[in-house]
A = this chain, B = another copy of it.
Amino acid sequence: MKEANISDSAVRRLSQYLRLLRELERRGTEVVSSRQLAERSGATSAQVRKDLSMFGSFGKRGRGYDVPELADTLDGILGLRRRWRVCLVGVGKIGTALLGYRDLGRRGFDIVAAFDAEKEKVGHEVFGVKVHSMAALERVVRETGAEIGIIATPPEAAQEVAAALASAGVSAILNFAPVELEVPEDLPVRTMDVVLELEGLTYLLSRNGAGEGSAGDGEI
């Protein structure tokens, strides 16, 4: 398999193809064409083929792609042939929702520890995950070997937590706090921000004639 210098959005698409492939696999579909993957993922067939060809040749001409085989290939590309250990900082509403989100486990991510600044939460288990004090962060991250840290704290605390996670040795951070984190260059961070996504929508709505309560049919 080729090493590829692939863009962020291409990786995102690969994840989407994989999501579709798993669904097709569940239904017993054996073969899928780039066209079909494209339709169901909002890409074009050429783009699907290009994305995949960055890593090798996985299809059969005249036929398409073998579903389980391509799913496994994408697992390999995305680093999903193994499980990942994740820790979560901030057991508030979002943090709790994540602890209870069973898909994480199903898709290969094990939450091995949680942390919270509030004394009342420390020592308890939430959805089977033990909540530690912030003071224990560095020790517990090392002991559990957590590789990915999720930040679900208030924004004021996020930068400090990011620094602590970095120095405790996590290799990547998923950040739910609405702030831009400063971290060492080699520590990838993805930020998920609901308000930011909503603003992306309101931008579009204010350009077009929003507020006119239309919609409702699929007309072009």
Chain A residues at the B interface, C-beta cutoff of 8 Å: 3, 8, 11-12, 14-16, 18-20, 40-42, 77-80, 84, 86, 93-94, 96-98, 100-101, 103-104, 107, 109, 142, 145, 147-148, 166-172, 174, 178-180, 183-188, 190, 192, 194-208, 210-211, 213-220
Also in contact, A109 and B195, with CB within 8 A (given A93-B100, A215-B170):
yes
How far, in Å, is A175 (CB) from chain B's closest CB? 10
Contact A205 B171 (CB under 8 A): yes
Q: Which residues of B contact A142 (CB under 8 A)?
A: 213
Copies of this chain per assembly: 2
Partner of A96, one of B97, B166, B188: B97
How far, in Å, is A188 (CB) from chain B's closest CB? 5
Per the bound structure, the CA–CA distance linking A3 and B204 in Å amounts to 12
Per the bound structure, the CA–CA distance linking A172 and B42 in Å amounts to 17
Contact B174 A201 (CB under 8 A): yes
Per the bound structure, the CA–CA distance linking A86 and B198 in Å amounts to 10
Q: Which residues of B contact A11 (CB under 8 A)?
A: 199-200, 203
Contact A107 B195 (CB under 8 A): yes
Contact B216 A204 (CB under 8 A): no
Contact B194 A192 (CB under 8 A): yes
Contact B217 A184 (CB under 8 A): yes
How far, in Å, is A24 (CB) from chain B's closest CB? 13
How far, in Å, is A96 (CB) from chain B's closest CB? 7
Contact B215 A187 (CB under 8 A): yes
Contact A201 B217 (CB under 8 A): no
Q: Which residues of B contact A77 (CB under 8 A)?
A: 203
